[in-house]
């Protein structure tokens, strides 16, 4: 069992830290939300007043933060964790950020002999709770092997994508495709309903046909069709529209830098940005269905 610090207890980070506690690790948590911290303490975690206090004596530090600027604020600069952590401390960042940001943090960590992995996740809140997440890791083979037993506690599929930043590249590609699939699924369901079809029946038809995809099969965006998904609880919880919009922005920026053509990804970015601008940023991303089915 390891002494682990977990920073960032949002919809994903909270359940991930909880699974580490359940596995018997000594987990110290930190988050600006007192309620989120209290929930983990009730499960057996310890807490501290600051991120530095939380990381004191840790063998491994894991972060799950909203965006690149938050990752840089936690790790870099004279007040960042990397300035204080002893050599050899394993650092895992599971935030979804720009690949170049991950490489920048990794460069500072390398200079201090601190093994660092960018390890964004896929699988949603359900996967975080069930401990079945997919981790997509970028970093050295040595750091990956050191981290894998810890990641196995929170995930089912653990991939080593390559060197620093590779995990982030794979993640933004995945989320761009997910946004495209969710937009297309919502559009198809709305068209069928406009023609008098039952959305549940249409969903089953498409699931068993060539239109089947993850968004349709396990995360149906039409309210009431599937139990246990955000669409059936007024799109509360889950993966926020604002976060999907951020990830699509990362994909767009990366495509510009690499002269890659992403016409479908660009359209999905515009759709989610429009949806967020209409006051839906704090809803689950499957609420893109509302663009086609106004309520």
Euclidean distance between CA atoms 264 and 214, whole angstroms: 18
The token pair that represents 175 in the structure block: 């989320």
Are 125 and 232 contained in the same domain?
Answer: no
Euclidean distance between CA atoms 267 and 249, whole angstroms: 11
Residue-wise pLDDT tens digits, 55-103: 999 999 999 999 999 999 999 999 999 999 999 999 999 999 999 999 9
Q: Quote the DSSP letter at residue 86.
A: P
Task: Check whether 24 has a pLDDT greater than 70.
Answer: yes
The token pair that represents 168 in the structure block: 């982030």
Are 69 and 101 contained in the same domain?
Answer: yes
Euclidean distance between CA atoms 198 and 195, whole angstroms: 9
Return the percentage of the chain with pLDDT > 90, whole number.
Answer: 96
Are 35 and 124 contained in the same domain?
Answer: yes
Q: Write out the residue range of the structural domain in which residue 18 sits.
A: 3-163
Q: How many structural domains does the chain have?
A: 2
Q: How confident is the model at residue 150 (pLDDT cuts 50, 70, 90)?
A: very high
Task: Check whether 176 has a pLDDT greater than 80.
Answer: yes
Are 106 and 205 contained in the same domain?
Answer: no
Of the residues 103, 131, 163, which one is the last residue of a structural domain?
163
Of the residues 112, 131, 163, which one is the last residue of a structural domain?
163
Euclidean distance between CA atoms 25 and 272, whole angstroms: 39
CATH number of residue 213's parent domain: 1.10.1040.10
Euclidean distance between CA atoms 144 and 151, whole angstroms: 10
Whole-model pTM above 0.95? no
- Report, as residue numbers or ranges, the catalytic residues: 171
The whole-number average pLDDT for the span 37-54 is 95
| Percent helix / strand / coil, the chain, rounded to 5 | 55, 15, 30
Are 119 and 214 contained in the same domain?
Answer: no
The token pair that represents 232 in the structure block: 């059936």
The token pair that represents 277 in the structure block: 């601008």
Q: Report the 10 Å Cβ neighbour count for 257.
A: 11
Are 92 and 232 contained in the same domain?
Answer: no
Residue-wise pLDDT tens digits, 87-146: 999 999 999 999 999 999 999 999 999 999 999 999 888 899 999 999 999 999 999 999
Return the percentage of the chain with pLDDT > 70, whole number.
Answer: 99
Q: Residue 173 belongs to what H/E stretch?
A: helix 166-194
Residues 6+ apart with CB under 8 A from 109: 75, 82, 91, 115, 116
Of the residues 109, 143, 163, which one is the last residue of a structural domain?
163
Residues 6+ apart with CB under 8 A from 185: 213, 215, 216, 220, 221
Q: How confident is the model at residue 16 (pLDDT cuts 50, 70, 90)?
A: very high
Tell me what pLDDT residue 124 has.
85
Are 141 and 173 contained in the same domain?
Answer: no
Q: How confident is the model at residue 295 (pLDDT cuts 50, 70, 90)?
A: low
Tell me what pLDDT residue 139 has.
97
Tell me what pLDDT residue 293 has.
77
């Amino acid at each position: 069992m390891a002494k682990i610090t977990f920073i960032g207890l949002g919809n994903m980070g909270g359940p991930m830290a909880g699974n580490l506690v359940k596995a018997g690790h000594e987990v110290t948590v930190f988050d600006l939300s007192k309620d989120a911290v209290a929930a983990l303490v009730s499960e057996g975690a310890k807490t501290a007043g600051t991120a530095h206090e939380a990381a004191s004596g840790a063998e491994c530090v894991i972060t799950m933060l909203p965006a690149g600027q938050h990752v840089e604020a936690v790790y870099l600069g004279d007040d960042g964790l990397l300035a204080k952590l002893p050599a050899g401390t394993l650092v895992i960042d599971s935030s979804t950020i720009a690949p170049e940001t991950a490489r920048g943090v990794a460069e500072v960590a390398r200079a201090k002999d601190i093994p660092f992995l960018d390890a964004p996740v896929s699988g949603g809140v359900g996967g975080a709770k069930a401990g079945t997440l997919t981790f997509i890791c970028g970093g050295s083979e040595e750091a990956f092997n050191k981290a894998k037993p810890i990641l196995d506690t929170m995930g089912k599929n653990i991939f080593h994508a390559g060197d620093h930043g590779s995990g982030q590249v794979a993640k933004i590609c995945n989320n761009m495709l997910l946004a495209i699939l969710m937009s297309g699924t919502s559009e198809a369901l709305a068209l069928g309903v406009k023609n008098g079809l039952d959305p549940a029946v249409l969903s089953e038809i498409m699931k068993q046909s060539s239109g089947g995809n993850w968004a349709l099969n396990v995360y149906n965006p039409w309210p009431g069709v599937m139990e246990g998904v955000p669409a059936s609880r007024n799109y509360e919880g889950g993966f926020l529209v604002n976060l999907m919009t951020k990830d699509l922005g990362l994909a767009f920026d990366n495509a510009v830098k690499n002269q890659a053509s992403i016409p479908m990804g660009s359209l999905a970015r515009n759709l989610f940005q429009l949806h967020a601008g209409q006051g839906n940023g704090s809803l689950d991303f499957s609420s893109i269905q509302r663009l086609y089915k106004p309520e």
